[in-house]
A and B are shown apart, each in its own frame.
Chain A
Amino acid sequence: MRIKVKIKRCDPTGRGGCEPYLQAYDVDVKEGMTILETLMWIKENLDGTLSFRRSCRSAICGSCALVVNGTPKLACKTQILREYEGAREVVLSPLSNFRVIKDLVVDLSPLWDKIGRIEPWLQPGSEPPEGGWIITKDEVERIDRESRCILCGICNSGCNSQEVDPEFIGPSAAAKVYRFVGDVREDGKRRRLERVSGPHGIWDCSRCVMCNEYCPKRVEPMTSIEKLRVEAIREGLVDNAGARHVEALVDSVNRVGRLDEAVYTFRSLGFLRSIGMIPLGIRLELHGKMPLPHIFPAIEGIEEVRELIRAVEEEE
């Protein structure tokens, strides 16, 4: 079947700088053909100037990540006909949230810097015991997902927090942090958690679920971020808006079974930042939207909710 494959290109040596443009190529595609095979065919037969990264062709190296019809994917793991059938077209673009070097090649150095900064190596407190560490199956499974990351940058491309804050730690580096925080041999757990509890850290994830949705290795970085948050609160790293936000919500549910928005806002923000919200509060009040504290009673069956919270806490 002959289809048009549209590729978002840019050439930094060209006159317009790296001004992107869309170029269409006519390609005969066969059932089972991947996007990477298509790109290689175009480069070999139609246009030798087309640039893209690739290496292993089997979803191991993480080199060929790009955006297919708006969704970040591995070119080698994606069949072109399936994409064409879904959208009636195929548009290939470079990964989002990264600077484009040429065509489909982006500058991944911000990703390497973030990974480097989290010190991606095990830091045990002592030498291994004689005969080596004995690790149970459960202990390996705890960090199994995070160990699968191939650093392709797909999660960073989809990440909505990274889009508005390039300094945000990002899903891949956060997942890597949990890979060590969750390792029973690790000694630097608290230090690692302190580092990611600050600005641009784990509390800046907006839970958009893009990373969990698109990770080709099912690392589920957002779930790793949730696990890091649990560990950070357990370590007592609660002097930040993110942790206060969680504690305020759990308290509210324990008290009335629901979200007491006004008290919750106040407790999450603290006194000074709450004052800054007063103008918005007045406008909400004028529109009859202001959530007033304590005017709604606890839900029916609140004692059941408290009983369950107690039961889980006792177990912990």
Chain B
Amino acid sequence: MRFAFYPGCAALAIAKEAYRSTLLLAERLGLELVEMVRANCCGAGLFNDKNRELNLTLNGRTLAQAEEMGLPIMTICNTCFMVLNRARAELDRDDYLRDKVNHHLARIGLRYRGEVKVKHLLQVVVEDVGIDRVKGLVRRPLRRLQVGAFYGCHILRPSEAVAFEDPDRPRSLDDLILAIGAEPVDYEGRTKCCGFQLDLVSPHLAYRMIGKRIMECRDRGGETMITGCPLCHINLDSYQGYAGKEVGFKLDMPTFHLSQLLGFAMGFSEEEMGFAKHLVSPERVLKDRGLL
């Protein structure tokens, strides 16, 4: 299985451990990733706040590049996944907009034809690789580890554009938690927002959201969280200290990238998966469970 790999800005800078662990995991899963080195940032939705046509044109460029490569896109970021799919859906629905965007793209010798698929790593793992294959690759079952799946917003909504799974009752991450031998924790905020887009705008609202999500998971017995989005990870991990102050509770919730926990269960070491990059260390809980 070959994919045009669109890692997104966060995984290339602040969340490099997501990028590196994805490359190792992909090899283990037999995914061939051709990185889109010429692709631009998706804008995280903010292009739409400036000019809707700018959003469609710059994301149209990425979509058209993948079409030229003849490969479906795979991203490891919820927001890139949503933004690219939302742009794709808008361009596919509206001939007038598509002509306009193609008029711009013609200046750089590209054309969006409406053939490309945009997938998320999580989707590729459950749909293309398959849960059974994942089970078969597990070398270090994460027995008794209580893991809260944090789906986040943009892998589920708008469901019409991202077209992945039931936005009200998603199960892919929970199925994977079971597949690697761990125990999924059900909690209220699993499909809610991490607040990332407010980090630099209204930080206290973001911190409250982070605090709520972590407390919701903790109150149901969660001792770690897993997310398929490096932006959610930045908030749940790097901003956890601020969130704790906001909710008046000392939080200590290690959070893993999807690729990290799958890779770790498949036998990669904590160094290879980059656990030391996290601000909230998973060492204690992994030792408690006899996994380190």
Contact = CB atoms under 8 A, between A and B. Distances in A.
B15 interface: yes
Chain B, interface residues (CB within 8 Å), range = 35 or more
A304 interface: yes
A132 interface: no
29 contacts: A69-B168, A164-B208, A204-B201, A205-B197, A207-B193, A207-B197, A208-B193, A210-B157, A212-B157, A213-B159, A229-B49, A230-B49, A233-B49, A250-B46, A253-B40, A253-B58, A287-B279, A288-B276, A296-B12, A299-B39, A299-B40, A300-B37, A301-B38, A305-B40, A308-B61, A309-B54, A312-B53, A312-B54, A315-B53
Interface of B: 9-10, 12-16, 37-41, 43-54, 57-58, 61, 82, 104-105, 107-108, 153-154, 157-159, 166-169, 188, 192-193, 195-198, 200-202, 205-206, 208-209, 212, 238-239, 241-242, 276-279
Contacts of B9: 258-259, 261
A241 B167 CA distance: 31
A291 B82 CA distance: 24
A257 interface: yes
A241 B10 CA distance: 21
Contacts of A87: 169
Name the 5 nearest CB pairs between A and B, nearest first: A209-B157, A208-B193, A259-B9, A164-B208, A229-B49
Contact of B107 (A199, A207, A288, A311): A311
B277 A289 contact: yes
Contact of A249 (B38, B44, B241): B44
Nearest to B153: A208
Contact of B200 (A69, A253, A265): A265
Interface in A272-292: 280, 283-284, 287-291
B205 to A, nearest CB: 5
A284 B196 CA distance: 17
B40 A284 contact: no
Contact of A245 (B37, B46, B57, B159): B46
Contacts of B15: 289
B38 A300 contact: yes
- Judged by DSSP, the binding face of B is helix
A221 interface: no
Interface residues of A, number: 65
A226 interface: yes
A57 B169 CA distance: 27
Nearest to B54: A312
Contacts of B159: 213
A160 interface: yes
A307 B107 contact: yes
Given A204-B205, A261-B13, 20 more contacts: A71-B168, A161-B205, A163-B212, A204-B201, A209-B157, A226-B49, A227-B52, A246-B46, A249-B46, A250-B46, A253-B40, A258-B41, A268-B201, A284-B279, A289-B277, A291-B13, A307-B108, A308-B57, A309-B58, A312-B104
A242 B197 CA distance: 10
A259 B104 CA distance: 22
